[in-house]
Amino acid sequence: MNRRGFIQNSAAAAALVGFSNIAYSNNLAEVKPSNSAKFKLKYAPGFGSFSELAGKDPVEVIKFCADQGFRAMFDNGLPGRSPEDQDKIVAELKRQNMDMGPFVLYADFSKESMVLKDPAVREMLIKKVNEGVELFKRTGVKCALMVPGRYNERMAWDFQTANVIDMMRELSDIAEKGGLTIVLEPLNKRDHPGLFLTGIPQAYAICRAVNSPACKIVDDVYHQQITEGNIIPNIDAAWSEIAAFHLGDNPGRKEPGTGEINFQNIFKHISEKGYDGVLCMEHGNSIKGKEGELALIEAYRKADNF
């Protein structure tokens, strides 16, 4: 597949007549990219972000994203891929000089886990972290995402917080020795009712109490706009503990520019603070098909223009 001509021709047409009127060629051998200039920040598409333009082969998707100027990828399901696919992905990322965002190590929204002093839960989570360390050693993907699970309706909240801190101290000690970083993700109560961890201030307090370089935060801008807003001040207040970002506009959880969040200002702010980590594009497209995938690229070009 020659990706270059297709994107170049389609983007030029879009600029003149709008994405909805683009005439797409069925011959993808004639395509070229609209813009191969590297983005200022490491926005990271998922492996399904460009299924119409790049197909489903992970290596081809990485090549396509690199051609569009992206400097990172993310794959929540990396641990579930075969070792052969993991090796292919990592090899191509190295060839393209691209980073990989956090993979999901543990995120069971149906169970109480870290809030309990349960030996079986402790054993399960330790096993998960050891598996994450082994995956890091094989692939070099350093960040593993974890969610503390649901809160307990009968236990005092402060006891639950103390249990989470104790559990994360033990898990972080294992992770730090193995070179892994655990990133805790707060999620909003509207989409995920009943979860223990919901806010950046709450996650910050836990990370400070754990006091380990292996216990950090992934700041999901979509979730935090719903939960608390005040995105830039909260980024500043929790800056020492933030290791990664997830992206998605609100309402709708689609690409930047489709909701109320000013991503251009957020990107400018964290760039000026020196952030060089990954920003995972964990959202859908507002337009279906090839038009939507082209619109996705252009949305990030606009938000990156600061």
pLDDT higher than threshold 90 for residue 165: yes
Q: 86: Cβ–Cβ under 8 A, 6 or more apart, which residues?
A: 78, 135, 138, 139
Give me the amino acid identity at 103: F
In whole angstroms, how far apart are CA 191 and each of 55, 186, 226, 279? 30, 12, 9, 21
Q: For residue 183, what are its two tokens?
A: 């990133």
pLDDT higher than threshold 70 for residue 281: yes
pLDDT higher than threshold 90 for residue 9: no
Burial class (CB in 10 A: 0-12, 13-18, 19+), 127: exposed
> Chain centroid to CA 238: how far?
18
- The enclosing H or E element of 144 equals strand 143-146
Closest CA to 105 of 133, 83, 139, 84: 133
Q: What percent of the chain has pLDDT over 90?
A: 88
In whole angstroms, how far apart are CA 51 and each of 139, 229, 296? 24, 32, 12
Burial class (CB in 10 A: 0-12, 13-18, 19+), 40: middle
Could you give the count of Cα atoms lying within 13 Å of 84 in the half-sphere of its Cβ?
1
Beta-bridge mates of residue 234: none
17 — pLDDT class (breaks 50, 70, 90) = very low
What would the mean pLDDT of 130-157 be, rounded to a whole number?
A: 98
Which residue do the tokens 């082969």 mark? 57
Closest CA to 13 of 34, 28, 35, 36: 34
Closest CA to 185 of 158, 212, 215, 157: 215
pLDDT higher than threshold 50 for residue 22: no
> Chain centroid to CA 81: how far?
17
Closest CA to 231 of 215, 249, 243, 214: 249
Could you report the per-residue pLDDT of 212-262, keeping only the tens digit for each?
999 999 999 999 999 999 999 999 999 999 999 999 999 999 999 999 999
Beta-bridge mates of residue 144: 103, 182
Q: For residue 290, what are its two tokens?
A: 């090839």
- Are the C-beta atoms of residues 189 and 223 closer than 8 Å to each other? no
Which residue do the tokens 């006091």 mark? 211
First to last CA, the chain: 33
Q: Distance (Å, rounded) from C-alpha 297 to C-alpha 86? A: 26
Could you report the per-residue pLDDT of 78-126, keeping only the tens digit for each?
999 999 999 999 999 999 999 999 999 999 999 999 999 999 999 999 9
**Domains in the chain with CATH codes:** 38-303 (3.20.20.150)
